[in-house]
Amino acid sequence: MEICRQSDIDRFATKLAVDPKLVEEYVQHLNDLKQRSQMTAAQRGRKSQQLSQKTFEEYDWRQLVLRGEISKMKVFELDKYLDKHNLLTGKKARLKDDNVKCIISHVLRNDYSATDTNTLACASYKQRECVDESDKNDDIDDDDDDDDDKRSDSEEDLAWS
């Protein structure tokens, strides 16, 4: 509600039995708050616009992961990495945390120069399966080997009984 005329201020002050100067100060305060809110919204809009124009190559993904800043990024920024590497394709309704875990896993798996400390720090971030589209066929072949291991383990258990 914006009161701009002196007659409105006087009428409001009389109705509530308040000094008109206090009402003027309060109205000015409300206008200042509104102006600050609009400035903040404009700044956020400009920052978001700049981030959306940033390309995949402009990010240092390894450093973002190692410094722990990857989780502070916006989902549309994380999608740039996931799309570039064909990770989690077809799963549009995923959580930001899942995207972060997938990127951390992929960066560390492909980063042979990461130190053990950094690897442990990021690996402690309980990671879910992050499937690279090119690795999906390899995973199907690996499932057969797991069944053989399970049978041999159960056969050994029977032998000990």
Q: What is the largest CA-CA distance in the chain?
A: 98
φ/ψ of residue 49, rounded to 5: -65, -45
Residue 87's beta-bridge partner residues? Answer: 132
State the Cα–Cα distance between residues 104 and 90, nearest whole angstrom.
20
**2-9 contacts at long range (C-beta below 8 A, 24 or more positions apart):** 2/27, 2/30, 2/31, 3/27
Tens-place pLDDT, residues 52-101: 899 999 999 999 999 999 999 999 999 899 989 888 766 666 788 989 99
Q: How many CA atoms lie within 13 A of 65 on its CB side?
A: 29
pLDDT over 70 percentage in the chain? 63
